[in-house]
Structure 1
């Protein structure tokens, strides 16, 4: 891969994977094939059977009288040992989750020319297309996406928000507001589980940035040779993922083994992003994860990247660096953090670039 820094705030235009899948090719085009990268065939299934992503019950976290202490302990271990958990009883209704999933499915079912009405423009990642394609010889992921900045409201570019299906905008608006409430609760309990009781951190997510990426992973004739999304860690505070399938496609790296996240109706997958890794002074890790694809079935997912307020500096929490504890990461302004992320070398570790 080209190691010169590339500005990642825009993406080159590439063909729709959905359109490619409609043609029912027997073979995958060379640009999508990943098994020549030196690690052989991609081990899609099964993932390691002895490992299972932890579950956290928000109802128990909220219940200070009985279950909270034990659930906080489980949350701490999930974030420290895994960096990811499935959240149940989070407060979003099943109908709200289903509505959002249906709108995304209906958008991707539109004819290509209709979807292209909301295509990415030069110089931005927002809209319908692909992310982080910076060169003509780069390997491509087996997915199509639409990426939209949802909160704060003034960040929205409504000319890129689909008006078809007719309820798409209204559903996305409502969903992003509900996700913000869940995020603030999760971050509040994360700070409690770290023992720092810092309301400023969770409150900063009230004025934070919420960007939503909706993915379509079409069926693939050679699923063991491609990736839906290549391995990466998120640069967010936390990431909340709604899986709209009844079969696994999301995998997290645990103890050098890829582990499937089994979709559970009504659950939201929460993973730590690199901002919380920094704020926790490395106690919680942003985990590496990827998406794999299916030979016969299409899969949709809705991923919300949740960031603290732009006024919040990004650095280790004060209570985790005093009294002889050394800061592992530098303190950066919000703007410095994003500038570093969008202008980095693609083949260098972003999190390592933030270390002291």
Structure 2
């Protein structure tokens, strides 16, 4: 099946991984490079670690975004207890029988619920992955998953989402400060609530990577960039995340257990006029007998806004925009039309 023949991602249904004993043809990736098949500690890359309490934190974040497109954040204010509780909710969700999870299957045209990765439509093969996306309150979905006990799970997830939103607001302010964007300009770009949808601009994606009979022949998440301002990732796994370097190819990341990984998305690449880069990344499967997971918080501009490069008109070194301005909602469509490669399509 070619990627032109695959149904929309919202209509793709994850495998019933609990009953899989051999990898189906639909999930076999035959041409994975050798590096993806094993972890060599001396070839793992350590990305910058930034302390949110550092007096020079805006500069540290900005330089990491310029040089790496991502960084690890410590002292971020999200308690270990809350992270562990939220992770446990996610594990309980994915441990449910397939028939129960299917009650919340993402409907065509809606981004919430049980799902496969949205990038599935760009590839001929499917990924060793199941997900659950939450845009606002999880109550409706959780009622279907846990009819008699949903409130306890909702309270934990809501607290995590609100804490992550507060952290994201703080980070975007620090990033815009580094770029020389004033508070007044930032408020125009990122009002808290979208006046059209009435919802905040964030999405939480729970990702599960089930045990696999032969991890060397599958991919957890294929190569992609994030359609966000930035993404904040908690990994409940030591290995698997890789980034692409033009000289070295795919490089596995070494991570600290007490950090959140922050990676730049397409919209900040546009706003920064290419100073920051939305770095291609992917997730490889390492485990044969253990399910692993991650929690990704996507932070993005309102869908009605037009996003364009921020070039200071009175700067001593005037900049020329290298990207066309684009409406946020239209950019999602442009990226989909170009098989996940949105930035080249708007490059001047």
TM-score (norm 1): 0.83
1:284 aligns with 2:276: yes
Deviation per CA, 1:239-282, whole angstroms, max 9, x where unpaired?
A: 0111123x212122234333333343331111000000000001
- SS of aligned partner of 1:10: helix
Deviation per CA, 1:5-56, whole angstroms, max 9, x where unpaired?
A: 999573323423x224xx4x2x42222121337x568444236636311111
Q: 1:273 to 1:5 in 2, by over 3 A?
A: farther
Tell me how far 1:145 sits from its aligned partner.
0.8
Q: 1:180 maps to which residue?
A: 165
Question: 2:105 & 2:94 partners in 1: Cα distance?
Answer: 13
- More off after superposition, 301-310 vs 268-277: 301-310
1:302 aligns with 2:295: yes
1:170 aligns with 2:164: no
Q: 1:157 to 1:219 in 2, by over 3 A?
A: closer
1:195 aligns with 2:189: no
Q: 1:218 to 1:3 in 2, by over 3 A?
A: closer
Tell me how far 1:147 sits from its aligned partner.
1.4
Question: 2:344 & 2:91 partners in 1: Cα distance?
Answer: 37
Q: 1:63 maps to which residue?
A: none
From 304, 317, 330, the equivalent of 2:324 is 330
Q: 1:312 to 1:3 in 2, by over 3 A?
A: same
Q: RMSD over aligned Cα, in angstroms?
A: 2.8
From 20, 32, 40, the equivalent of 2:27 is 32
Question: 1:74 & 1:296 partners in 2: Cα distance?
Answer: 39
Q: 2:196 maps to which residue?
A: none
- More off after superposition, 331-340 vs 301-310: 331-340
Are the equivalent residues in 2 in contact too, given 1:86–1:268 (CA < 8 A)? yes
Q: 1:257 to 1:321 in 2, by over 3 A?
A: farther
Question: 2:166 & 2:128 partners in 1: Cα distance?
Answer: 32
- SS of aligned partner of 2:207: strand
Deviation per CA, 1:68-96, whole angstroms, max 9, x where unpaired?
A: 1xx43432221112111111111111111
From 34, 53, 64, the equivalent of 1:59 is 53
Q: 2:66 maps to which residue?
A: 80
Are the equivalent residues in 2 in contact too, given 1:47–1:260 (CA < 8 A)? no
Question: 2:222 & 2:205 partners in 1: Cα distance?
Answer: 15
Are the equivalent residues in 1 in contact too, given 2:70–2:263 (CA < 8 A)? yes
1:319 aligns with 2:312: yes
Q: 1:225 maps to which residue?
A: 217
Question: 2:261 & 2:322 partners in 1: Cα distance?
Answer: 27
Tell me how far 1:197 sits from its aligned partner.
3.9
- SS of aligned partner of 1:228: strand
Question: 1:321 & 1:103 partners in 2: Cα distance?
Answer: 51
Q: 1:283 to 1:204 in 2, by over 3 A?
A: same
How many aligned residue pairs are there? 333
Q: Which structure 2 residue ranges, 5 or more long, are not aligned?
A: 194-199
Question: 2:88 & 2:158 partners in 1: Cα distance?
Answer: 15
Q: 1:252 maps to which residue?
A: 243
Question: 1:99 & 1:298 partners in 2: Cα distance?
Answer: 17
Q: 1:316 to 1:289 in 2, by over 3 A?
A: same
- SS of aligned partner of 1:261: strand
Question: 1:107 & 1:328 partners in 2: Cα distance?
Answer: 44
Q: 1:237 to 1:45 in 2, by over 3 A?
A: same
